[in-house]
Amino acid sequence: LLFLWSITVSIFGIGGLLGSSGSRYLTVKYGKKKCLLCNNLLMIVAASIMGCSKTARSFEMIVIGRFMCGISAGLCVPLHHQYVGEISPRKLRGFANSTSSFFWSLGKAIGQISGQRELLGSQYLWPMLMASCGLPALVQLITLPFFPESPPYLLMHKGDQEGCKKAIRQLWGEGHHQAEIDDIMKEKATMKNTKILSVLELMKEPAFRWQLYVIVILTATVQLCGINAV
């Protein structure tokens, strides 16, 4: 029983690792908007499976739903940061990216509060709590089609300059945006002369050794701050 509890909890992280590992390939091939839309469908399916687990009397459905939820979250973290940053005007880009972390923390807090036994953590309502992760995904699935694809993706990966200009006008309004387009073209030219490192090559590269140490230590010590115990 302890083993099953441990698997149920930890399989979310395993799914997150797989999802984040495949995010780069998927975004380059299909674009950030399409990936986010498909990711929302995956989260809704995961929420439905977990929400129906009590009715089906199947703990396996919880494990499967948690795994799919982890994959969705692993895809969503890099995708969301990139998309929000790329569709934001330059003067608001830092603010837009910082709101992502704020809403991640807010979502965790709301989830923990909702999980109290006086609310959705009761014997009868916990399936609703498990399925509640599908609600934000449903909201984004409905609203995201009204947004354009990321302008840098259209220009850098698709070579669609007119589509890029149209997306920029839709996002930032009418005006002279040639400076932003020139910045994207410079970034495209820089990327052509830059080798993309794999995870293994990144770990072996001496120039990034200390940055890698800092990230690993910071991520590991966050797990020791007591949040999991709480």
Residue 229's pLDDT is 65
In a domain, 77, yes or no: yes
Q: pLDDT digits over 21-53, tens only?
A: 888 888 888 888 899 999 999 999 999 999 999
State percent of the chain over pLDDT 90: 34
Domain assignment present for residue 156? The answer is no
Residue 65 domain boundaries? 1-147
- pLDDT of amino acid 228: 63
Q: How many CB atoms lie within 10 A of CB 222?
A: 10
**Total domains in the fold of the chain:** 2
Give yes or no: residues 90 and 23 share one domain.
yes
Q: Is the model more confident about 145 or about 201?
A: 145
Cα(11)–Cα(9) distance, rounded to whole angstroms? 6
Four-point Cα dihedral 16, 21, 25, 27, nearest 10: 40
**Averaged pLDDT, 206-216:** 89
Which of 129, 147, 165 delimits the end of a domain? 147
CA–CA separation, 100 vs 77, rounded Å? Answer: 9
Contact 68, 39 (CB under 8 A): no
pLDDT at 84: 87
Rounded CA gap, 142 and 205, in Å?
43
Residue 49 sits at the vertex; the CA angle it makes with 24 and 4, to the nearest 5 degrees, is 90
80-89, 152-161, 200-209: which range is least confident on average?
152-161
The last residue of a domain, from among 132, 147, 162: 147
Confidence of residue 94 (pLDDT cuts 50, 70, 90): confident
pLDDT of 140 strictly over 80: yes
Mean pLDDT of the chain: 86
Q: Is 19 left (phi over 0), alpha (psi -120 to 50) or beta?
A: alpha
- Round to whole Å and give the CA distance between 113 and 116: 6
pTM for the full predicted model:
0.80
Eight-state DSSP code of residue 44:
H
57 and 135, same domain (yes or no) = yes
Q: What angle do CA 121, 100, 143 make, to 5 degrees?
A: 80
Of 39-43, 74-78, 100-104, the least confident: 100-104
